[in-house]
Structure 1
Amino acid sequence: MTTLNRDCLSEHDRQVLESIFNPSQIGGEELLYKGEEELPVDLLDLAEPDNPRILKSKSIELEAIKQAENGKLADAITLFTKAIETAPERPAPWNNRAQAYRYSGNDEAALNDIERALQLSNRSGRTGCRAFCQRGVLRRKHNDTDGARADFEEAAKLGSKFARTQLIELNPYAALCNQMLREVMKVK
């Protein structure tokens, strides 16, 4: 079998091959969730930027995130709860507490918080996008492929690159096609 000489390919041809052999990349851009994606802002947090309750809630939430990053999930959950109690209308601490619950293995509590985050965010903005991703991950974990796909589609519409990657992985035809093309092409 002959090998493919990539030097004689056009840029477009290289991009097509890249999408075949690296389906989690589109246009050479790696699609991994980085936490700081270019997502729409949460309008609710912008509506009252000087509200002392919202500022306090954000401050507590930041401390909770630090605790979670240090593996202190129980402490993080306690602080997220305090942030929620301080400003229950903010969707972000609900979504972040859901993630801490998820990492703690409490999927039921996580789903409850995700639903509340989606409701408060009006299923939009950064928090809505991340809540859809989290619910998609949980649905995928529990073998609800159709539900996961629907959540990842909503998150992708809101700008999530992570969700787009998940959609590619959930597409059995794309996976099969990519596998067959890899075998046929044997690119070196």
Structure 2
Amino acid sequence: MSTQNDAAVLHALFNPNAPFGDISERNEENLQEEANQDCKFPADLLEEARNLELLGVQSAESGDPNTAVERFSKAIELLPDRASAYNNRAQALRLQGDITGALEDLNRALELSGGKGVAGRQALVQRGLILRLKGNEEAAKNDFLLAANQGSEFAKQQLVVLNPYAALCNRMLRDMIQKLCVPDP
């Protein structure tokens, strides 16, 4: 398992448009949920997989997504039914430009996690971002909604951005403020 600082740095790397610090999802309740999901794995393999993930995070932080993918893949080989490494590898694959591979890993992470817990929420947000970039806003909204319902602040912000009424209100508010600042002659 990565430290709070590792998670924040990795989050900032993979989500440059997200507000820094939107890692509040790693609260005590979510950490307990993650621990409950991990308790089904042998302790020695779990520790080794977590260490590999930590090394993968460090590789990604240092700008080496190839090594990150290798380390996440080794963690997956150790525990193929654990969602976390798939989610992390998906992010590294996305950095490499392998969108298809990233989506496959995100779908697998969602399948394993049931879309719940930290890994499930993160996979929903990551898949939502990819779907949005691919122009599939309806599917992206669905993923963001599922993640937002589990407490993801970033997903909530994305839902606002994707709401055409919110965009219209923002534009009207901007125009009104601009007219107040520069009145018509």
Please classify the TM superposition score into its range, dividing by the shorter chain length. Answer: 0.7 to 0.9
Supply the distance in 2 between the matched residues of 1:107 and 1:49 (Cα, whole angstroms): 29
Residues 162-181 of structure 1, C-alpha deviations (whole Å, 9 max, x = no match): 10111111011111111102
Tell me what 2:3 maps to.
none
Tell me what 1:38 maps to.
25
Q: Shift of residue 36 of structure 1?
A: 2.6
The answer to whether 1:154 aligns with 2:146 is yes
Structural mapping, 1:60-71, within 5 Å = 60-71=52-63
SS at 2:89 equivalent: helix
Supply the distance in 1 between the matched residues of 2:83 and 2:53 (Cα, whole angstroms): 11
Tell me what 1:166 maps to.
158
Structural mapping, 1:1-188, within 5 Å = 32=19, 34=21, 36-39=23-26, 40=30, 41-42=33-34, 43-45=36-38, 47-48=39-40, 51-186=43-178
Bigger relative contact order (CA 8 A; separation at least 6): 1
Supply the distance in 2 between the matched residues of 1:130 and 1:145 (Cα, whole angstroms): 18
TM-score normalised by L of structure 2: 0.79
Count of matched residue positions in the alignment of Structure 1 and Structure 2: 157
Supply the distance in 2 between the matched residues of 1:49 and 1:117 (Cα, whole angstroms): 16
Q: What amino acid is aligned across from residue 183 of structure 1 in structure 2? A: D
SS at 1:38 equivalent: coil
- Asked whether the equivalents of residues 32 and 165 of structure 1 are also in contact (C-alpha less than 8 Å), the reply is no
SS at 1:134 equivalent: helix
Q: What amino acid is aligned across from residue 45 of structure 2 in structure 1? A: R
Flag as ranges the 4+ runs of structure 1 deviating above 6 A. Answer: none
Supply the distance in 1 between the matched residues of 2:70 and 2:152 (Cα, whole angstroms): 28
TM-score normalised by L of structure 1: 0.78
Gaps of 5+ in 1: 1-30
Q: Shift of residue 78 of structure 1?
A: 0.4
Percent of matched pairs sharing the same residue: 39
Q: Shift of residue 44 of structure 1?
A: 1.2
Q: Shift of residue 48 of structure 1?
A: 4.5
Supply the distance in 2 between the matched residues of 1:38 and 1:151 (Cα, whole angstroms): 16
SS at 2:81 equivalent: coil
Supply the distance in 1 between the matched residues of 2:144 and 2:160 (Cα, whole angstroms): 10
Q: Shift of residue 118 of structure 1?
A: 0.4
Supply the distance in 1 between the matched residues of 2:174 and 2:152 (Cα, whole angstroms): 27
Determine which structure has more spread, i.e. the larger CA radius of gyration.
1
- Asked whether the equivalents of residues 33 and 162 of structure 1 are also in contact (C-alpha less than 8 Å), the reply is no
